[in-house]
Amino acid sequence: MVTLNRIYTRTGDKGQTRLATGESVQKFDLRVEAYGAVDELNAVIGLVRLAGGPSSGLDPLLARIQNELFDLGADLATPDRPEKPLAWEALRILDSQVDRLEQEIDQLNAELLPLTSFILPGGTAEATHLHLARTVCRRAERVAVQLASEAEEIVSPAALKYLNRLSDLLFVMSRWANGRGAGDVLWRPGATR
């Protein structure tokens, strides 16, 4: 359980922050960038939910994803250091969560009209916000992959897969929110030359 009695601590005033392990790092550390991008994604999904409203068929799914993004942030904020085992079991994204995203992609995609072109962000407000969420998700994935490429860093393979599948799910959800694809705004190559 997390208890936050005090919001400001002044410990970050000099550009440092602490990871979940207590380790002090610069605020521009790749690990901080990765979980910061996940936090930003969570905020954008909050905008999606606002745009779609509680009656949206996607709202329960988005609510669960928001909670899982906090889990993902905790995963990324807790480095795996084999030489320094943790005194507790770190919260990690599981392969079963990735599998569930794949199932949801398949279920929603089965209801969509065939895709005949690339899609421009647009249509309904909910769909447009889902496209924004997708792009933020892709950025979070790029930062997490960059972090994983560092020699001293370990990023859970399930966490990387989760971000990759989530961006695919957000794309499919955007089409679903656009009348199951009927309201998609299609790219017309060279149409304005």
136 domain-assigned: yes
8 domain-assigned: no
Domain boundaries, position 42: 22-79+93-111+119-182
pLDDT, tens digit only, all 193 positions of the chain:
666 676 777 777 778 888 888 888 888 999 999 999 999 999 999 999 999 998 899 999 999 999 999 999 999 999 988 888 888 889 999 999 999 999 999 999 999 999 989 999 999 999 999 999 999 999 999 999 999 999 889 999 999 999 999 999 999 999 999 999 999 999 999 999 9
The pLDDT of residue 50? 97
129 domain-assigned: yes
134 domain-assigned: yes
CATH number at residue 75: 1.20.1200.10
Q: How many Cβ atoms sit within 10 Å of the Cβ of residue 155?
A: 21
73 domain-assigned: yes
The pLDDT of residue 180? 93
Q: How many domains is the chain built from?
A: 1
The pLDDT of residue 1? 60
The pLDDT of residue 111? 96
84 domain-assigned: no
The pLDDT of residue 17? 86
Kindly write down the DSSP assignment for every residue of 76-90, as one continuous string.
HHS---TTS--SSPP
133 domain-assigned: yes
pTM exceeds cut of 0.95: no
As a whole number of angstroms, the distance between CA 48 and CA 132 comes to 9
Give the H/E segment covering residue 120: strand 119-120
Answer whether 110's CB lies under 8 Å from 8's CB: no
85 domain-assigned: no
User: For the packed helices 157-177 and 125-149, what is the interaxial angle rounded to 10 degrees?
Assistant: 170
